[in-house]
Amino acid sequence: MTAKLFYDAPYAKEFDAELLSQSEHDGKFHIILDRTLFYPGGGGQPCDTGTLDGAEVLEVIEHGEEIIHITASPVEGKMIHGVLNWEKRFGNMQQHLGEHLFAGALWNLHHIHTARMRIEGDNVSIDTDIPADISAILEAESSANAAIWADIPAEVIFPDMAEIKELARKLPPENAVPPVRIIKVEGVDYVPCCGVHASSTGQVGLVKVISCENHKGGSRIYLRCGRAAYRWITSLYHEVRKAESELVCGYDGINDKIAILKSQIHALKSQNEALTVRYLKPLVDSLLSHAEVCGQFKIISHVMNQSSQDEIKHLFKLITDKDKDSIAIIAGENEDGVFIMAGCNKENKNVDVRPAFRKAIEILGGKGGGSPFSAQGWGKNSEALNTAMNEAVNILKNNIK
Ligand SMILES: [Zn+2]
């Protein structure tokens, strides 16, 4: 049996214990001591890590009455000295009590129940039973921080079941054997929990909501508490400073600057489109007047060197809009490879360009697809472009006949 020192001395960082057993499993070592400060995980809180006589503790699990420390290397001797990774443990204690304060506030203010919570590194996520809107979430965050500033003790108590049923925001599992461990923060929260927490709300430092999403009929809310919240705000600070420097403004001007940039981009796009259409017009006229006539159709095949996908799409659209009986195969070569497009006017129901397109893209060693009136894709073998275009035109001509 392992005595759980982490409950009696949640702020102790080192301990001495007697080795009860040690065994090797798949290159790792399972160590059982007569007592331990290593929390095995539970209630959404991850297990502790650290060292046992210098051997790295990778994982800690509870098995019946014993706590198993899984280490990377073996230990020697009868007495073992254990050291916790205190930064991680204290971070989890802050995150866990912070989560209680937030979940308690959500319950007290809005009767929103927390069905599940999990601490994963710097992230705490909680799932609620019903959707929580952003105003309720921010109100709970504000209330949790007010509880932090009031620096209220987080008491560990073992009351009788009648009191628990009356006061707890959630009931212990049905198979829980009394006495049930309750974490009580006077006036804020009263909940059964097996975790290790900060001893007063002031030590949580800060509760900050990060984001929220819909989840299984309720909400999944991500928050950070204590040092994890501080780390997040610091990274936010650096990002904001970068944005301020790029946009040449203060943090409160960033959104206005973005709005200006977006409207400028929009205007430039329209201008670019108008210019593209204007410079492509003479080419459209020339291609249509020199097109190969095949029954009622005009077949146009053309390669635009060093052109973008957008330019090719524009040229294609201008040709097939201007002459409803035109069928166009247009390709362009640039540093990304060969972009090829085949098609006709959408209203032309008698044409299917796909067989011709498939042949061309096969010769180009690429991928693509589309509908009977428009297919497109990228290829790699630019040296085979002329062959691909000729083969595609031949297939088109045969199919039209
Ligand atoms: Zn808890």
Is residue 359 scored above 90 in pLDDT?
yes
Residue 49 CA to ligand 1 center (angstroms) comes to 19
Closest to 145 (Cα-Cα) out of 177, 98, 86, 84: 98
Helix (H, G, I), strand (E, B) or coil at 223: strand
Longest dimension (CA), the chain: 97
- Residue type present at position 131: P
Residue 44 CA to ligand 1 center (angstroms) comes to 7
What are the pLDDT digits (tens) for 6-41? 999 999 999 999 999 999 999 999 999 999 999 999
**Whole-angstrom distance, CA of residue 147 vs CA of residue 108:** 13
Q: Return the CA Rg of the chain.
A: 34
Cis peptide leading into residue 40 (ω within 30°)? no
Q: What is the pLDDT of residue 305?
A: 86
Residue 118 CA to ligand 1 center (angstroms) comes to 10
Residue 34 CA to ligand 1 center (angstroms) comes to 26
Q: What is the pLDDT of residue 176?
A: 85
Band of pLDDT at residue 174, cut at 50, 70 and 90:
confident
What are the pLDDT digits (tens) for 91-124? 999 999 999 999 999 999 999 999 999 999 999 9
What are the pLDDT digits (tens) for 268-303? 999 999 999 999 999 999 999 999 999 899 999 999
Residue 78 CA to ligand 1 center (angstroms) comes to 35
Residue 192 CA to ligand 1 center (angstroms) comes to 7
- Residue type present at position 184: K
Band of pLDDT at residue 177, cut at 50, 70 and 90:
confident
CATH 3.40.50.920 is held by the domain 90-234: no
- Strand-strand pairing, 14-25 and 154-157: unpaired
377-400 average pLDDT score: 93
Q: What is the pLDDT of residue 32?
A: 98
Residue 96 CA to ligand 1 center (angstroms) comes to 6
**Whole-angstrom distance, CA of residue 304 vs CA of residue 339:** 10
**Whole-angstrom distance, CA of residue 254 vs CA of residue 257:** 5
Distances, alpha carbon 130 to alpha carbons 58, 110, 216, in Å: 37, 10, 9
User: Which chain residues have CB less than 5 Å from ligand 1, an ion?
Assistant: 43, 193, 195
Residue 247 CA to ligand 1 center (angstroms) comes to 44
The CATH code for residues 280-400 is 3.10.310.40
Write out the E strands in 248-365.
Answer: 292-294, 297-305, 326-334, 337-344
What are the residue ranges spanned by the domains of the chain? Answer: 3-84, 90-234, 280-400
**Whole-angstrom distance, CA of residue 304 vs CA of residue 276:** 13
Q: What is the pLDDT of residue 401?
A: 65
The CATH code for residues 3-84 is 2.40.30.130
Residue 195 CA to ligand 1 center (angstroms) comes to 5
Residue 201 CA to ligand 1 center (angstroms) comes to 14
Q: What is the pLDDT of residue 206?
A: 98
